[in-house]
Amino acid sequence: MISGGHKQGQTRLALVQMRCSANPDENLDRAVQFVKQAASDGAEVVCLPELFRSRYFCQSEDHRNFDLAESIPGPSTQRLGSIAREAGIIVLASLFERRAAGLYHNTLAVIGTDGEVAGLYRKMHIPDDPFYYEKFYFTPGDLGFRSFATKFGNIGTLVCWDQWYPEAARLTALAGAEVIFYPTAIGWHPSEKAEFGEAQHDAWETIQRSHAIANGCYVASVNRIGHEPAPEGSGGEGIEFWGQTFLAGPDGHIIAKAPANEETILHATIDRDRIDVHRTHWPFLRDRRIDAYGDIERRWRDT
């Protein structure tokens, strides 16, 4: 949905929910078309899902998958940058970054309206769960929690597993973020869906809505869709990505939401002026006891 007219303080977002194939070039071509369409429809900031250039390769530990990585700037940012420059938009692209030999990150590139990479966020929290073997591939981020000042507002960037951590959202908001984007690749193990699927999805949505409320900002979570098979011989059954990309407002209310199994460009207009209104009526930032939070830097508080 796109509101009629465009007021000061408003930003038009487009969240691209897409299916990813085994062909990286095909995925990039399709992502380019989605971004072009989003820009044509009036978007000013376009966000793609996590690691959109490939299927979710972290279902196995396979050294051949490092061939999927690329430099930043590189071929993906060049293609997307040309659209950003032509349309005068910002593109958020989640990529498998080859930083140096043996050093790889799960990285979100902020591509500015001039087509250049305006900044990077490297995923800080790296999971290691059954068929989410990300620690094999990704070095934890070393750039901290970031917000990027743009002509369309202050953009905060986190990635997938980061979305479960209140500390990450808080520090990103404290850096100035008015909207926090979470490019994501999350879904169900098919055999668990009937028993645990509803609760898993509900927890995922609830924790991110809580970040919006606690920090008085917008939260945009951008997922992929489709069943992606596990590599042959891995013993896995694949992952059914649950889509349901959404945008939540500073009060946690869901403003827009995509379906579970359809490719969609989810459009929504945010009003950044609402952030000040929300934060003055629910002054959570004012009432923080920063003098009493020293133990947050400890792994565990032993008694």
Sign of CA dihedral 200, 170, 277, 160: negative
Neighbours of 115 (CB within 10 A): 19
pLDDT digits (tens, 9 = 90+) for 86-124: 999 999 999 999 999 999 999 999 999 999 999 999 999
Q: Does some domain include residue 242?
A: yes
Mean pLDDT of 59-79: 97
Is the residue at 291 inside a domain?
Answer: no
Q: Tell me what pLDDT residue 214 has.
A: 98
Helix (H, G, I), strand (E, B) or coil at 112: coil
Task: Look at residue 134 and tell me if it is in a domain.
Answer: yes
Strand order across the 239-242 sheet? 187-188, 239-242, 225-228
Structure tokens at 110: 């902020």
Q: 7: how many CB neighbours lie within 10 A of its CB?
A: 9
Cα 218 from Cα 177, distance rounded (Å) = 9
Is residue 4 in a domain? no
Place of tokens 């207009």: 269
Strands 128-129 and 254-257: unpaired
pLDDT at 69 over 80: yes
Choose the catalytic residue: 47, 58, 160, 217: 160
Least confident of 32-36, 46-50, 182-186, 230-234: 230-234
Domain that holds residue 182: 10-283
Catalytically annotated residue among 20, 47, 97, 123: 123
**What is the count of structural domains for the chain?**
1
Do the domain assignments include residue 14? yes
Instruction: Report pLDDT for 5.
Output: 53
DSSP lists the bridge partners of residue 215 as none
pLDDT of the residue at 242: 97
Q: Is the pLDDT of residue 3 over 50?
A: no
Rounded distance between C-alpha atoms, residue 169 and residue 147, angstroms: 11
pLDDT at 37 over 90: yes
Cβ count near 62 (within 10 Å): 15
Domain membership of residue 297 (yes or no) is: no
184 domain residue, yes or no = yes
Residue 95 lies in a domain: yes
pLDDT at 7 over 90: no
Q: Is 160 a catalytic residue?
A: yes
H-only helix segments in the chain = 24-40, 75-87, 166-174, 190-215, 273-281
Active-site choice (44, 50, 178, 240) = 50
CATH number of the domain within which 278 lies = 3.60.110.10
Which of the four pLDDT bands, split at 50, 70 and 90, describes residue 302?
A: confident
d(CA 172, CA 159): 12
